[in-house]
Amino acid sequence: MTSIVEVSTHWPSPVSLAERQHDLGLTDAELRRYIRGFGLSRICWDEEVPEKELLLSALEKLPSLRGAEERVRFLIRARTLRAPSPYPHSVLQEIRREAGLRHARTFALTEHACASGLLAVEVAGTLLAEEGDPEALALILTGEKALTRETQFVPGVGPTGEATAAVLVAASGTRDRVRGFATRTVSTGHPKMVMTPEAARSFRGMYADVLTEVIDEAVGAAGLTMGEIALVLPHNVNRVAWTNLADRLGTRTERVLLDNVPRTGHCFGADPFVNYVTACELGRLRPGDHYLMVAVGLGACFAAMVVEH
């Protein structure tokens, strides 16, 4: 049973959404709507810090990795954006060398957009099980640099942040065991972050129905009901979306960890892992609790994973 061995995160210093109003092209009315209505007051974002440094900063906070570098058989980059740099330059290969992961086979997952992080955990568990070595590990890096206005703000959703996460995975273990996983890809006719108006309408129309179905599938695969889920670790899109979805799922909003929504912005595929670290710091998870990690990628990809703490 796939086990999440350890998770670490890195956040750039938060800046207020008001400070970024001009750069993001927001009117005063839009700014008020995102702050007051959606609860998006701050973003963890730093124009000066390159992506490699953001990722290494998360990786370096993994105590379990120290002395275990040779056990890492797979280094997986779970991306939202397909091509961060021109060929043949590769930030991931640089990280592999600098982190001493010389035994790791290295690749990226991109086609699930912001749901790629949860998919990477599932893929890592499958690959490690095929290795047949109980000591083997996989390291997933997610979250990324928002370089352009188009990637720094998703209309109707909110600003994107630059928090990153490093996730160490084993084929089996005694903690944070994956009990259920579900994913679904539904075409909007325009699989990009900057969607056409028609694609955006299609995405909004399907969002709640498909996400609810995927969550129900993952919870059912774990042999549980939503009433047995202690905590939901969401993608940090906005407060309104999750208040509405909690009602559909038949769970209390208090069981959805929304603490980071006003502090980080939506940090691509890193959100569920950022929220996991916060949940642990706040004492929101006890041994034996089942929690639900959720992510959605534009295009559209939906993923949900049930984990036993």
Task: Read off the pLDDT of residues 72-125 as tens digits, 9 standing for 90 and up.
Answer: 999 999 998 876 666 667 889 999 999 999 999 999 998 898 999 999 999 999
- Which DSSP letter does residue 266 get? B
Quick one: pLDDT at residue 251?
Answer: 92
For the chain, percent of residues with pLDDT exceeding 70 = 96
Per-residue pLDDT at 87: 64
Residue 60 clears pLDDT 80, i.e. is over it:
yes
One-letter amino acid of 267: C
Band of the pLDDT at 62, cuts 50, 70, 90?
Answer: very high
Q: For the residues 186-206, what does the mean pLDDT come to? A: 79
Question: Model confidence over 280-300: pLDDT tens digits?
Answer: 999 999 999 999 999 999 888
Mean pLDDT of 238-252: 89
**Inter-residue contact 172 to 101 (CB < 8 Å):** no
**pLDDT at 84 (0 to 100):** 63
Nearest C-alpha neighbor of 245 from the set 299, 294, 178 = 294
DSSP state of 247: H
The whole-number pLDDT of residue 85 equals 64
d(CA 113, CA 193): 9
Of 78, 17, 7, 80, whose CA–CA distance to 44 is shortest?
A: 17
State the residue for tokens 């009117």: 27
Mean pLDDT of 271-275: 98
Q: Which is it for the CA torsion 23, 25, 26, 27, positive or negative?
A: positive
pLDDT for 220 beyond 80:
yes
- Decide if pLDDT at 142 tops 80: yes
* Interatomic CA distance for residues 116 and 106, integer angstroms: 15
Average pLDDT of the chain to the nearest whole number: 92
Q: What's the confidence (pLDDT) of residue 7?
A: 98
Return the closest-CA partner of residue 106 out of 78, 83, 77, 128: 77
**pLDDT (0 to 100) of residue 58:** 97
Burial of 103 (0-12, 13-18, 19+ CB in 10 A): middle
The pLDDT confidence band at residue 191, using thresholds 50, 70 and 90, is: low
Q: Find out whether 285 and 231 touch, Cβ atoms under 8 Å.
A: yes
Q: What is the pLDDT of residue 170?
A: 97
Q: Extract the tokens encoding 163.
A: 């928090």
